[in-house]
Structure 1
């Protein structure tokens, strides 16, 4: 039996982190996972997070639909979909602690390189197949690895609506794939579905508010916000909080 107070706390967290995701393109899943795990337990938290992310990413795709980069989305999905299936099937036995720390170091180094290194070259099309493959696997194991993809979309030159919408479309494909795989692995039951539905209004409201904010900031401020998000996510991964 799930307490009403737990659902209310989860809804508040889902709202504010949906705002964050709509502004930075990521972050909600990384921060929601420990919240959901504390409220519902890890085996329920991961599939519930996936359902919540479907709503969050789907709404970001809709709000930014005119700016989607379909070529990148297709290449990303070719790598992400099969690897997400593999990751979902490995969820019960993978050594997640070591993987999260590697991701944390990677994200901090990316921000450092962007600030101190030479001007980054524009990422080619083939890069996004490999990024998709790594993201699909990591997302299925950790619930969300949006920060992992952010540097590559920024390196491609995407900003604001194009960045947020395209990243969300790629993430949506992964989450839909994971949902099917989790269902096949008996990780989705009536309780998980009920929680996903209950958190939908808060997630949609947060996404709308975040979209409103994105329309009112400059490209320079947007990039800074994304980089701050990368640093926070990197520290959380490295310390084992996320």
Structure 2
């Protein structure tokens, strides 16, 4: 689109709608926004713009769900995500994105099929009295952070990559949404550092990122109002459906 106002209007509408989806399901908005932004701006510009948009969206979700965030998980996630996301930001200009997208698509669909073998989230019967059982599986999130940090820096968003791990850990609703958003926030801040070092944060990127922030914040607020009205079963089904859609989009090369 040559008209910047039309472009901004379309991008704002898509940002709001998919921020609502992210607030309800805990992910999905970034993955589905990437094809829209790529069509509007081109991939090399779309990825940094998407990161700035997600920064505000995830930040608002962390604040809205701050009482339920599992910070130890976020810490383990950050251990892997920070260096790999920053490094991936520097590699964006030269990375072969097509094969990586298809690999991620296959992985997402495989994860849904794996979860269907035991669809009930794992729950800790004593989450407050005995935190020790959480420590060992929590270490897995360092590897999750590393892989998603690199993939997100190159593709703009791989939120669905982390979703199965947070679900398998036993997080649902506000705990899942807030914890996943906090982990994503750390990841996006690291990516921005890499993009800045790689000279990808141009004037156009910064202007569009700032202009789309209100739509992202409003969508996060609207989604927060909806999330308490659905059951855990419907919630998990919604998340897994989003995983399948995201996987199909990646396999299609979108």
TM range (shorter): over 0.9
C-alpha separation in 2, matches of 1:119 and 1:208? 28
Match of 1:126 in 2: 139
Please show how residues 101-140 of structure 1 align to structure 2 within 5 Å. 101-116=102-117, 124-140=137-153
Q: 168, 172, 195: which one pairs with 1:155?
A: 168
Q: Can you list the C-alpha shifts for 1:61-104, whole angstroms capped at 9, x where unaligned?
A: 01100000000000000100000011111111112111111111
Query: Would the aligned equivalents of 1:21 and 1:207 in 2 still touch at CA under 8 Å?
Result: yes
Q: TM-score, normalised by structure 1?
A: 0.95
Q: 235, 238, 248: which one pairs with 1:222?
A: 235
Deviation at 1:204, TM superposition (A): 0.7
Deviation at 1:171, TM superposition (A): 0.5
Query: Would the aligned equivalents of 2:121 and 2:171 in 1 still touch at CA under 8 Å?
Result: no
Deviation at 1:154, TM superposition (A): 0.3
C-alpha separation in 2, matches of 1:219 and 1:131? 24
**Structure 2: unaligned runs, 5 residues or longer:** 124-135
Match of 2:32 in 1: 31
C-alpha separation in 2, matches of 1:212 and 1:176? 27
4+ residue segments displaced more than 6 Å: 118-123
Give the aligned CA root-mean-square deviation in angstroms. Answer: 1.6
C-alpha separation in 1, matches of 2:33 and 2:99? 20
Deviation at 1:121, TM superposition (A): 6.7
Deviation at 1:119, TM superposition (A): 7.0
Match of 1:14 in 2: 15
Deviation at 1:116, TM superposition (A): 3.2
- In the alignment, does 2:200 pair up with 1:187? yes
Match of 2:5 in 1: 4
Secondary structure of the residue aligned to 1:102 is helix
**Structure 1: unaligned runs, 5 residues or longer:** none
Q: 141, 147, 156: which one pairs with 2:154?
A: 141
C-alpha separation in 2, matches of 1:105 and 1:186? 32
Query: Would the aligned equivalents of 1:15 and 1:202 in 2 still touch at CA under 8 Å?
Result: yes
Match of 1:86 in 2: 87
Secondary structure of the residue aligned to 1:124 is helix
Q: TM-score, normalised by structure 2?
A: 0.91
Query: Would the aligned equivalents of 2:89 and 2:193 in 1 still touch at CA under 8 Å?
Result: no
